[in-house]
Chains A and B, each alone.
Chain A
């Protein structure tokens, strides 16, 4: 069958197995050339095996929860949405969450996802206590700071190439409500956005929506959104009737593939301007429910269809702090000149690197998506070169098209990662369409 990631580009022929037991899983991976797949939310070809793909969604059992420490033990196929639905009403929220709740626990660890609190709490690696990993022979090893510590360090960010993640123990965060106290600050350009970020390091959450189509003095025009978990006394009557904001909200589904003009330059430019001015006028502080705050796009099921049948690609890079401003300026200039920026562009301050192959580094990250047109794919090569020139690197969970050479030029850790794979005997056993493309 043909599989693709969330971006619906590229599409790769594979065979999908859906084992339900560990024995069946061991059998499914015995032939080698396989990769685990969670809920298919990586954007590109990270979770598609060149020969066989092993779907992990049947491993969706929760195993134990300690309501003193907030440590959850669960199988890799459990959805983040289920974790939130189960534990938020009891006062616990994920320590780290990406921008969608429709990811699996195993996928979150493999991609070492980060959230709006990365500058403060780190990436997924920071809240994982241990991981059970199955190797090519079907043997399962517990990995933690105390056992198999070296392998434990290489798992986050390895995109499943160090073995199949079976189970993990993760720490949740104690929260008093399900509401976020959000402050929105308009930033007229990139420099002021960065000043706001640097001054907001103590906030738990910070992220900026950035208008990628502005040039000149307004280049990098942003809305910086800061957030804290609200305390019960901050809730007004309206929110206090639903303190954990667990009442179901409606979802909409994009019923068809949008025609290409929907995301053309004039439409996006108008949308961006409208959004910036609307939000600037309502800037200030407001209470937002967790679902709207963390997962705005989850309310529109299958939003990936907005990019039409050709699919779309994400670009996400991390830049070191010292070269962030220069790098971002060069990236934004190139994007604005091409007039190719999409509505969904995000700027964020990163903190320290977590695992040995984690994507984040202290500095800034820029993420945006493009329809997968030939012109945009060419533009992305330009953006790769700018990122590399400024000492930056790329997020494998978003990548669908980078070259093996660009990866090596951007990330000095690649030879070590390849050596680690060889030492673990996973080089041939665990392979994805992405790892083949990147020669990992």
Chain B
């Protein structure tokens, strides 16, 4: 009864792990890909015991572009769904002073994820089926002083996913863009996040699984973020540039 395998890129993250559990609970085999793959052995056993599905581990470095084709070749089978949760926030203050730090943030949130999804997109297109899921961010909806380096990379990724969806729409390959607002994860640990605006990793995973089943194109995890971002997008630039937001 095993359904098509799901590849999780960035499986060590809290959202990645929650997504893996969600699809496994629905009967999908999962392929966990991350840089430090040995550290996923505990998670592999856990998913296998809980959900009785096959779990495979794959070393993957989003920034090592030259390895991506071989990485996909090395998968036991081309996945039915690929979810890219790769991301790296960095410190805005560092990104302003140290341009190599900024570059790392841009590459981690845009180039790397786009590169591996492009690789998978071509294979899915050739096969004529598959779903690509990119976890981007509401931070990409408008650049703000507090995190525009991260935000600009996410903006690029969001645009890339949009274009990819447009290109593949007639090829039976679907692309889902996920725009989480605040999520309680290791990345945001220590930040003081408003509870009503903050999703749990399990919420994100549940929304992604539901959206891939129903064929949605772009989703916010907590719907309030749609409203918030609509307002933020529509503030005139002359006013916006003077705001502390």
Contact = CB atoms under 8 A, between A and B. Distances in A.
A86 B47 CA distance: 11
Interface in A48-85: 60-65, 72, 74-75, 82
Contacts of B49: 62-65, 72, 74, 86
B206 to A, nearest CB: 13
Contacts of A62: 45-46, 49-50
B42 interface: yes
Interface residues of A, number: 11
A64 B45 contact: yes
How many of chain B's residues touch chain A, expressed as a range?
under 10
Contacts of B46: 60-63
Contacts of A74: 49
Contacts of B42: 61, 63, 75
Contacts of A82: 50
Interface of B is mostly: helix
Nearest to B44: A61
Nearest to A65: B49
A60 B45 CA distance: 12
B221 to A, nearest CB: 21
A86 B48 CA distance: 11
A65 B45 CA distance: 10
A63 B50 contact: no
A86 B45 contact: no
B43 interface: yes
A60 B46 CA distance: 9
A313 to B, nearest CB: 29
B212 to A, nearest CB: 22
B207 to A, nearest CB: 18
B122 to A, nearest CB: 36
Nearest to A82: B50
A63 B48 CA distance: 9
A334 B46 CA distance: 50
Nearest to A59: B42
Interface string B17-50: 0000000000000000000000000110110011
A251 to B, nearest CB: 15
A74 B42 CA distance: 10
Contacts of B43: 61
Contacts of A61: 42-43, 45-46
A55 to B, nearest CB: 12
Nearest to B42: A61
Contacts of B50: 62, 82, 86
A183 to B, nearest CB: 34
B42 to A, nearest CB: 5
A64 B42 CA distance: 10
Nearest to B49: A62
Contacts of A60: 46
A63 B50 CA distance: 9
B34 to A, nearest CB: 14
A21 B49 CA distance: 20
A72 B50 CA distance: 11
A64 B49 CA distance: 6
Contacts of B45: 61-64
Nearest to A63: B45
Contacts of A65: 49
B198 to A, nearest CB: 17
Contacts of A72: 49
B53 to A, nearest CB: 13
A263 to B, nearest CB: 28
A59 B135 CA distance: 26
A86 B53 CA distance: 13
A72 B45 CA distance: 12
Nearest to A21: B39
A63 B42 CA distance: 7
A76 to B, nearest CB: 13
A63 B45 CA distance: 5
B229 to A, nearest CB: 29
A74 B45 CA distance: 10
Nearest to B43: A61
A62 B42 CA distance: 8
Contacts of A75: 42
Chain B CB within 10 Å — which of A62, A65, A86 has the most? A62
A217 B31 CA distance: 67
A65 B43 CA distance: 15
Interface in B47-66: 49-50
10 contacts: A60-B46, A61-B43, A61-B45, A62-B45, A62-B50, A63-B45, A63-B46, A64-B49, A75-B42, A86-B50
Given A60-B46, A64-B45, A74-B49, 18 more contacts: A61-B42, A61-B43, A61-B45, A61-B46, A62-B45, A62-B46, A62-B49, A62-B50, A63-B42, A63-B45, A63-B46, A63-B49, A64-B49, A72-B49, A75-B42, A82-B50, A86-B49, A86-B50
Interface of B: 42-43, 45-46, 49-50
> Which 9 pairs from chain A and chain B are nearest by CB?
A61-B46, A62-B49, A61-B42, A86-B50, A62-B46, A65-B49, A63-B45, A62-B50, A64-B49
